[in-house]
Amino acid sequence: MNPELIALLMFGLLVAGLFMGHPLAFVLGGTAVLTAFIVDKPMVLGITINRIFGDVLDNYTLIAIPLFVLMARFLSDSGVTDRMFETLRLMLGRVRGGLALAVVFISILLAATTGIIGASITVMGVMALRPMLQYGYAPTLTSGVIAASGCLGILIPPSIMLILMASYSPLSVGELFAGAMVPGLLLGLSYAAYVLVISVLRPEMAPAVEPDEKVGRGELARMLLVEALPPLVLIFGILGSLLAGIATATEASAIGAALALLIVVARGRFRLGTFYGAMLETGRTSAMILFIIVGATAFTGVFNITGGLRATQDLIRTLDMEPWMLVTVMMVIVFILGAFMDWTGIVLLSFPIFLPIVQEMPDINLLWFVVLMAVVLQTSFLTPPFGYALFYLRAIAPKDLRTGAIVRGVLPFIGLILAMCLLVVWFPALVTWLPDALYTR
């Protein structure tokens, strides 16, 4: 079987497995095994297994994933997020769209301390969804701002996605964290700007709310300072040690987990039961990610050895396009894949194909390309039919909030993500300035 047919066979089996509803990790691994036997080359599986155990699972950088997951769970157990949202609700309630703005600001803070999408959306949904609906906020705006803001965790450092991207590219984690910092923060601020515009143009969608409690401005400022200080210490402890070159990503994740545990203890929230639950959740989440990594490694290993990878790259090269057009085609492919696959699978499948081609383009900065792809992957959580943020929100939403309203609510935020992609294309310095300032000597 020639390489072109092998590529079609593997992608056909992958699509069929996904539409049959099987887990991505098993679809990827199963496709690799079936293809190896169909093309009568079962020996490639031995080479792939050696690669899994010799290269992938021995990757020191990947240790940061369970540590950051553990840190996120500790921070959730500390109760910091709940009390900060309550403080911002009291501060911004009288402002039109104030509760939605509080969701955006808390989500940015959560993104900079957790990087776990499911946790961010669940926490914000439990805290803010019902109050916003009860105070008269439009269901579309409420669901859209919670779902989109909760997805900032895969872009704003420390992000598990950026760690995985770094481990499968020539870039360091520090470079990717620095490159994604400005686009991530700008995207979060664009969500806040959208809320403000909606509150002016459509005030009935984001009404002002008179809080029940009467708390003075001075007391509110003190409450905000007290509640914001622990997560800010956590952020500076992680990113400061990493960007300053004091610690690697793995070491910084350990610092973050230790600081988060100290916050839990200092607030008197430490319990053996919750500690045990945090360990179990960390194990489950990390195992899910690593299973996908193993499956994707098997898929790309067979894909590469049987010639499908080279055939796909040659096909892209024969398009004979300008570099910017080729990058556009790649981003469109990533956007379409995001409607059907998890970001983990997209990164692990596309990097072996795209990165060698991008490195051949003299005018394309690899860091800029990877961060641009990270911005596009924000949409993978929001685009139906398989947007994970939609399912997370649906699981905690009241029954009278229709799924159609949730889908309509995220559409403007998908537009804002695409607008941010254009901004990154027009102003590459948004990505390259901070890494150049930190790492160029």
- Written as six digits, the tokens of 164 are 């995985």
The whole-number pLDDT of residue 314 equals 83
The whole-number pLDDT of residue 215 equals 58
The per-residue DSSP string of 199-211 comes to HHH-GGGS-----
Of the candidates 149, 86, 142, 88, the residue with the CA atom closest to the CA atom of residue 114: 149
In this structure, the number of other CB atoms found within 10 A of the CB of residue 430 comes to 19
The whole-number pLDDT of residue 8 equals 86
- Written as six digits, the tokens of 67 are 């540590």
Evaluate the CA torsion angle 64, 68, 74, 75 in order and state its sign: positive
Of the candidates 392, 422, 429, the residue with the CA atom closest to the CA atom of residue 149: 392
The whole-number pLDDT of residue 91 equals 73
The per-residue DSSP string of 72-113 comes to HHHHHHHTHHHHHHHHHHHHHTTSTTHHHHHHHHHHHHHHTT
Give the domain range for residue 376: 3-439
Total domains present in the chain:
1
Residues 6+ apart with CB under 8 A from 1: 9, 38, 39
- Written as six digits, the tokens of 152 are 């900032």
Cα separation values, 42 from 37, 174, 292, 305, Å: 5, 39, 21, 11
Amino acid letter, 383: T
Residues 6+ apart with CB under 8 A from 30: 13, 17, 22
The whole-number pLDDT of residue 426 equals 94
Phi/psi at 382 (nearest 5 deg)? -115, -20
DSSP run (H or E) holding 259:
helix 249-266
- For 133-218, strand residue ranges (E) read none
Interior/surface letters 164-200, b for 16+ CB within 10 angstroms, e for the rest: bbbbbbebbbbbbbbbbbbbbbebbebbbebbeebbe
* Burial of residue 233 (number of CB atoms within 10 Å: 0-12, 13-18, 19+): middle
Residues 6+ apart with CB under 8 A from 361: 323, 326
pLDDT averaged over consecutive 10-residue blocks of the chain (441 residues)? 83 85 84 86 78 72 81 76 72 77 84 69 78 86 90 84 87 89 93 92 82 61 71 79 78 85 84 86 84 85 84 81 89 90 85 89 90 93 83 82 88 94 94 85 51
Interior/surface letters 39-62, b for 16+ CB within 10 angstroms, e for the rest: bebeebbeebeebbeeebeeeebb
Amino acid letter, 417: I
User: Full-prediction pTM beyond 0.95?
Assistant: no
Q: How many residues comprise the chain?
A: 441
